[in-house]
Amino acid sequence: MSFAVIAAVVAVVVILLAVAYVLRRRKAHHRDDLRDQASQHRDLADIAQIEADRRTAEADELAARARREELASQQARLAAEQTQADVDATRTRADELDPDVHAR
């Protein structure tokens, strides 16, 4: 075999190795880019999760406040009904005691 053939074969092998190396580096670089993008998306998702948790907590707080106000409203209504019952009982007792009410 002549020197030119051996040199050509060696040159082709070196070129193939260089191309393989470049392709591997590109693929590794692309994977690194994808990892960076995934990391950014995870960071955004974490921020969105914090906001969602905050909004959920606010909604829970509003619901608890509404329940407290509903209970207070029910207590006030019961107190008003009891007061009205006391008023009615007092009027009935006054009518029972008043001699003029029976005379009519």
Give the mean pLDDT of 54-77.
98
Answer yes or no: is 61 within a domain.
yes
Most confident option among 11-15, 64-68, 95-99: 64-68
pTM metric for this prediction: 0.56
Answer yes or no: is 56 within a domain.
yes
Number of domains in the chain: 1
Q: Give residue 10's pLDDT.
A: 92
Give the mean pLDDT of 69-81.
98
Which residues, at least 6 apart from 101, have a Cβ–Cβ distance to it below 8 Å?
Answer: 95
Q: Give residue 3's pLDDT.
A: 84
Answer yes or no: is 101 within a domain.
no
Look up the domain containing 45 and give its range: 3-95
Angle at 20 between CA 19 and CA 26, to 5 degrees: 90
Answer yes or no: is 104 within a domain.
no
Answer yes or no: is 71 within a domain.
yes
